[in-house]
Each structure stands twice: as C-alpha cells, then as structure tokens.
Amino acid sequence: MREQDQSGYYRIDATVKITGLSSETVLYCVEEGLVRPAMTDSDGPLMGPVELARLRKVRRLTQDLGINLEGVEVVLRLLDEIEALRTQLARR
C-alpha cells in the first residue's frame, strides 16, 4: 500500500508520520467528524493539506496543551465558529 496516492493526498500511514499523531487518534478524529477526509478510496481516508493542518492542531491541543479529545472537539468547534464570524465580518 502506498502512503500517498497519485493526486497528492496522504493515506493514514503518511498522515501519522506528518502529524505526529497515532493512527488510532487520526481514525478517531475521522470517525467523530473532527476531520473530514479530502477523499476516500478502497484503502481508506485520504488527507490533503487542509486536513493535515487540522490534525496538527489536534496534536498541539492534545500533546502540547494536554487537552483530551473531547475537549479538542469543543475547541475546534469554537475555532470554526470564530473563523466563520471573521469571514462574515470581512464581507461587510
């Protein structure tokens, strides 16, 4: 199994190496909707640059700041809301 497909998206093995998260944590994030894979193929989810950046946030929150995955879900939701509000304000 290749770590990266032809379109430049990364499989779980490569995602783990790039983000520093365990495969269990990456799959948990996908299953719980914290990260939506850019694509999926017969080998599973594929991550692009946006998903890798989000998973790096998960790593920083869990490993550097000591927040559990349930707390990470709340933090990411709030960060998403802040970004949406910033986008709305910028359009005015």
Return averaged pLDDT per consecutive 10 residues of the chain, 92 residues in all: 67 95 96 94 92 97 96 97 96 91
What pLDDT, on the 0 to 100 scale, is given for residue 42? 86
Q: In the 8-state DSSP scheme, what is residue 42?
A: T
Own/partner contacts of 82-88, CB < 8 Å, gap of 24 or more, are none
Domains of the chain by start residue, with CATH: 12-91 (1.10.1660.10)
Nearest CA among 43, 47, 44, 76 for reference residue 59 = 76
